[in-house]
Chains A and B, each alone.
Chain A
């Protein structure tokens, strides 16, 4: 057991609990309280990955969300695979299995690394675009190998065994980040009685206080954290959410919080009392006020080979030592621009390891921490910086020289210091990501050398998140900003006494981003800006030379700040380099926009319970169970499950769809069939102006429709294009029942309300959806009357109950409305009963139906039958660019109605008057065995050179057992004047079908059968 870098004591880990884990197939041990990253460092693992583009060996750089290199693939089984987890954010658990996401065949010996070494200069920005541009057809081939080489982790190929929840939360104040400012703010808001949610992305709340050298109330800062958390946990107006990342800030203070509940316990949620709790939760928070106490990320310095394992952030060094009891090396060189980073050297020395030197870019640093380092006798090299790291798979030295940061020049002779670790700090960038999600532009603050968040109304930033890095000031700022948020809400803030913090004097920092090198940037060793995306200083310089001046363009050309990284470490440095190359200042160059998500969110948490059978609601008719029992195949129509066809067993063999539909069609044409039509939209319309209203929204006339009669109507938008169709029946002088297409039910209701509420509020009319209240059974075929007569008291005499009449009475002993409406062209009765009675009526029909050959049929047969009659389906034979006239339905257009109904004016526009509009016609394939493809394009001249002018397409096409061949409906330019002409349909397989343009009615053209 060799945790060679583990200190004998210290840290917040539980040394009594040892945890075994596997990384790249090798077994290691860590402790409870470790992250995967701290455990790897404790075990002396230097290389954790290969870089994205150049495949260079990479080690751990940071200790938190900003880690660019240590991306791992988790999971011991296929189903548990999780890609791109930051090792710095993954708590260690017993049995954890992780692999590097990059590196093929493995991270130690990497094939692509050869390309990185040999061909580094051959891979400028835009390399993939430039190299693999042509031919386009080859991209799929290139991509396969590029991806294999680059590697990005992979998604699991098996279903996720875990569940995920969504929670909807409301609070007065949402506080993001539980560091000093966040805790002080939470205390203030909580004591004032506000409903508070405090979330923090780390395993433990406390932020920087968990590894701070500073004392609060003369005790270690972590003790103050514990006291505050204890008080907050005891209040019922406070919700504490540790391990919870505010991943996105959306409109109107809607913030999504991703809470990882079991990821620290195992790769799938461990069973708890026999069930598996949700692995993670997405809290959808609507907050009154939001306080961002998100802290700051330390900026690394950009110097040569700054990506070699052993180059770390100064703050990360302190975190590993103080929080995890891990010192990630033996000999340290610290390169800094500020006082705060000195604590890395002090912590390193306290851990008993050697500090070779502190290289400070400032000519005369003089803060208190600097003085402490001097007192300890640590060598401080002033006015200098690390120019370049030495070493391949681990740092072996640091080349150091005096520099002039302002002039971007090396001014002194370089000296090489032997070391295995280089810690760097170029200052601190406030974490402004969430504020940026709101669209507010951050502003550059020269005093802190960083962007501070732009804030929209109701959003506040506190502490380091707005550049206040001093501990005492940060605590005070948390209290003050909470008070400001409370004031906006009309809550008076309770005074919170600030704890005592010893004042510390820090000297001023200096501005240094890219460290100058003796060689020009393009020839110097690679100086990495964005480690995750392998973007170098020279790439940015090249981009600016190639004319990319906008920082947003530089970002896209180089990929800086792309992907899961979102520019946490590199963005400011990149902007500074672009500014240098362009001769501008950083605020002039500006910043790119950070977008959600702050760190990756697993799809499970985004989806929550809205998956599998709960993905989309399914609607069943009252007769669904019968359909299932009778072997129906179902079709989705909107959210409805409708029987598609009812295959029967013939000689022990199940019919094909073609066979079933042929049988069902003939049953309707020759005997009697029954269709469950319950899904048709039904809208109950009442009021003294109901009739006038119908007259305005339908194209045809409604003023004279008598009680007891029904009428088919077309509904257009005001542009004259068909929107929906259906029959409407007059139930009483002021009472109508409208039917709509199955898919159009909701939108037609909204349409009617729109016109009533916004244009004609003076009309007294009311609309109620009754789709689900009534079940509809269509009994149709020559035997329909005989069958229905057996079970109804309604007089079915053909001359008193005529076609397009409706009657009220009893069917199978229950109250019913029967409509003599036909969508098949045969004698038909649509029986409407309360949905709860539907099964009884349906079964009674079958009890009586055997002798008539009653056959259930589904939507496919319905389509064939209606198409044979030329009955259109709105949305299939029309598509929003088809007028009633294009459909040849002038008979349903009331040109002389006094009110200019919806769509009328548009019918006389020059465009709708064109004679070469696409018009609905019938198509009869010359070869009757051919069933044309729906959507097939139509041409007049099959010998025309490509591209052929396309003149229309097939809208409906079926095989008709009645006609003994294929037939189709289609829209064809000027089709109404082309009866008898031949058109052609060139198909993808090279065949060309010929078809004759005919009328749309293929069967019973005089419509006699529905009148019998």
Chain B
């Protein structure tokens, strides 16, 4: 059972309080009528299933009822960070690969969890749908 840090409540809470809502950062096309059937089908039905870093949408269903995103390693189940809607992750598959290449950071080992995204990253992604 996961231990999830709600970025709104600012507390680690038990998984029982949350509902998973699938892949994060799926943006509804601004003009659905302009989409081809294929584009609309992609939006509706197609999701990533990565081995490793995955950004997921969760809701603190029986807590504050807020939706937020979590960056989770699908192999180790480690939740690397959680962040509010409208924010972008500070940890991505690419950023980890880069850091690993530099030899400076260990890969996720499971269990521990860092907290929400930094303010700097929030400022830089204004207007981007999270």
Q: Is the beta-carbon distance between B32 and A900 smaller than 8 angstroms?
A: yes
Contacts beyond the supplied A439-B77, A457-B112: 5 A-B pairs with Cβ under 8 Å: A251-B3, A252-B2, A252-B110, A457-B110, A758-B85
Contacts of B86 in A (CB 8 A): 761
Contacts of A910 in B (CB 8 A): 37
User: Known: A753-B67, A758-B67, A904-B32. Contact between A458 and B111, CB under 8 A?
Assistant: yes
Residue from the list B37, B66, B110 in contact with A439, Cβ < 8 A: B110
Contacts of B76 in A (CB 8 A): 439, 456
Q: Do most interface residues of chain B lie in helix, strand or loop, or is the interface mixed? A: loop
Contacts of A906 in B (CB 8 A): 40, 44
Asked if B87 is at the interface of the complex by the 8 Å CB criterion, the answer is no
Asked if A236 is at the interface of the complex by the 8 Å CB criterion, the answer is no
Q: Can you spell out 25 A-B residue pairs with CB atoms less than 8 angstroms apart?
A: A250-B1, A251-B1, A251-B3, A251-B111, A252-B2, A252-B79, A253-B3, A254-B1, A286-B14, A439-B76, A456-B110, A457-B111, A457-B112, A458-B110, A458-B112, A750-B19, A757-B66, A757-B67, A758-B130, A761-B85, A761-B86, A905-B33, A905-B35, A906-B40, A906-B44
Residue from the list B1, B14, B40, B61 in contact with A905, Cβ < 8 A: B40
Asked if B103 is at the interface of the complex by the 8 Å CB criterion, the answer is no
Q: Is the beta-carbon distance between B1 and A252 smaller than 8 angstroms?
A: yes
**What residue in chain B is nearest A440 (Cβ atoms)?**
B110
Specify which of A286, A758, A910 lies most central, judged by the most chain B CB atoms within 10 Å of its CB: A758
Q: Is the beta-carbon distance between A457 and B78 smaller than 8 angstroms?
A: yes
Interface residues of B in 115-130 (CB under 8 A from A): 129-130
Asked if B65 is at the interface of the complex by the 8 Å CB criterion, the answer is yes
User: Known: A252-B3, A718-B44. Contact between A909 and B77, CB under 8 A?
Assistant: no
Q: Is the beta-carbon distance between B111 and A754 smaller than 8 angstroms?
A: no
Give complex CA distance A910, B41 in Å: 11
Contacts of B3 in A (CB 8 A): 251-254, 286
Asked if B91 is at the interface of the complex by the 8 Å CB criterion, the answer is no
Q: B2: shortest Cβ distance to chain A, in Å?
A: 5
Interface string of A906-937 (1 = CB under 8 A from B): 10011000000000000000000000000000
User: Known: A439-B76, A719-B44. Contact between A251 and B2, CB under 8 A?
Assistant: yes
Give complex CA distance A611, B92 in Å: 43
Interface string of B41-68 (1 = CB under 8 A from A): 1011100000000000101010001110
Asked if B90 is at the interface of the complex by the 8 Å CB criterion, the answer is no
Q: A435: shortest Cβ distance to chain B, in Å?
A: 11
User: Known: A252-B113, A757-B67, A900-B31. Contact between A909 and B40, CB under 8 A?
Assistant: yes
Q: Pick the 6 closest A-B CB pairs, nearest first.
A: A457-B109, A456-B110, A905-B32, A252-B3, A900-B32, A757-B67
**What residue in chain A is nearest B35 (Cβ atoms)?**
A905
Specify which of B67, B108, B110 lies most central, judged by the most chain A CB atoms within 10 Å of its CB: B110
Contacts of A253 in B (CB 8 A): 3, 111
Contacts of B19 in A (CB 8 A): 750
Asked if A438 is at the interface of the complex by the 8 Å CB criterion, the answer is yes
Contacts of A754 in B (CB 8 A): 21, 59, 67
Residue from the list A250, A456, A909 in contact with B37, Cβ < 8 A: A909
Contacts of A158 in B (CB 8 A): none
Q: Is the beta-carbon distance between A750 and B59 smaller than 8 angstroms?
A: yes
Contacts of B85 in A (CB 8 A): 757-758, 761
Interface residues of A in 163-183 (CB under 8 A from B): none
Q: B4: shortest Cβ distance to chain A, in Å?
A: 8
Q: A608: shortest Cβ distance to chain B, in Å?
A: 14
Give complex CA distance A459, B112 in Å: 11
Contacts of B77 in A (CB 8 A): 251-252, 439
User: Known: A905-B32, A905-B35. Contact between A753 and B110, CB under 8 A?
Assistant: no
Asked if A799 is at the interface of the complex by the 8 Å CB criterion, the answer is no
Q: B58: shortest Cβ distance to chain A, in Å?
A: 11
Contacts of B31 in A (CB 8 A): 900
Q: How many of chain B's residues have a CB under 8 angstroms from any CB in A?
A: 39
Q: A716: shortest Cβ distance to chain B, in Å?
A: 12
Give complex CA distance A263, B35 in Å: 66
Contacts of B111 in A (CB 8 A): 251-253, 438, 456-459
Q: A767: shortest Cβ distance to chain B, in Å?
A: 9
Q: B13: shortest Cβ distance to chain A, in Å?
A: 10
Contacts of A757 in B (CB 8 A): 66-67, 85
Asked if A759 is at the interface of the complex by the 8 Å CB criterion, the answer is yes
Q: B110: shortest Cβ distance to chain A, in Å?
A: 4
Give complex CA distance A904, B37 in Å: 13
Give complex CA distance A438, B14 in Å: 18
Contacts of B110 in A (CB 8 A): 251-252, 438-440, 456-458
Q: Is the beta-carbon distance between B37 and A759 smaller than 8 angstroms?
A: no
**What residue in chain B is nearest A749 (Cβ atoms)?**
B65
Give complex CA distance A719, B111 in Å: 36
Give complex CA distance A909, B32 in Å: 12
Contacts of A457 in B (CB 8 A): 78, 108-112
Interface string of B10-29 (1 = CB under 8 A from A): 00001100010100000010
Interface string of A452-475 (1 = CB under 8 A from B): 000011110000000000000000
Q: Is the beta-carbon distance between A909 and B41 smaller than 8 angstroms?
A: yes
Interface residues of A in 417-462 (CB under 8 A from B): 438-440, 456-459
Interface string of A891-906 (1 = CB under 8 A from B): 0000000001000111
Contacts of B44 in A (CB 8 A): 718-719, 906
Give complex CA distance A458, B106 in Å: 14
Contacts of A718 in B (CB 8 A): 28, 43-44
Q: A168: shortest Cβ distance to chain B, in Å?
A: 8
Q: B74: shortest Cβ distance to chain A, in Å?
A: 11
Give complex CA distance A286, B1 in Å: 10
**What residue in chain B is nearest A455 (Cβ atoms)?**
B109
Give complex CA distance A758, B128 in Å: 11
Give complex CA distance A466, B3 in Å: 27
Contacts of A459 in B (CB 8 A): 111
Q: B19: shortest Cβ distance to chain A, in Å?
A: 7
Give complex CA distance A825, B34 in Å: 41
Q: Is the beta-carbon distance between A759 and B1 smaller than 8 angstroms?
A: no
**What residue in chain A is nearest B28 (Cβ atoms)?**
A759
Give complex CA distance A750, B109 in Å: 33
Contacts of A286 in B (CB 8 A): 3, 14
Q: A432: shortest Cβ distance to chain B, in Å?
A: 16
Give complex CA distance A905, B113 in Å: 39
Interface string of A969-996 (1 = CB under 8 A from B): 0000000000000000000000000000
Q: Is the beta-carbon distance between A900 and B66 smaller than 8 angstroms?
A: no
Give complex CA distance A458, B129 in Å: 34
Give complex CA distance A206, B65 in Å: 48
**What residue in chain B is nearest A899 (Cβ atoms)?**
B32
Contacts of B14 in A (CB 8 A): 286
Q: B39: shortest Cβ distance to chain A, in Å?
A: 10
Give complex CA distance A757, B65 in Å: 10
Q: Is the beta-carbon distance between B35 and A456 smaller than 8 angstroms?
A: no
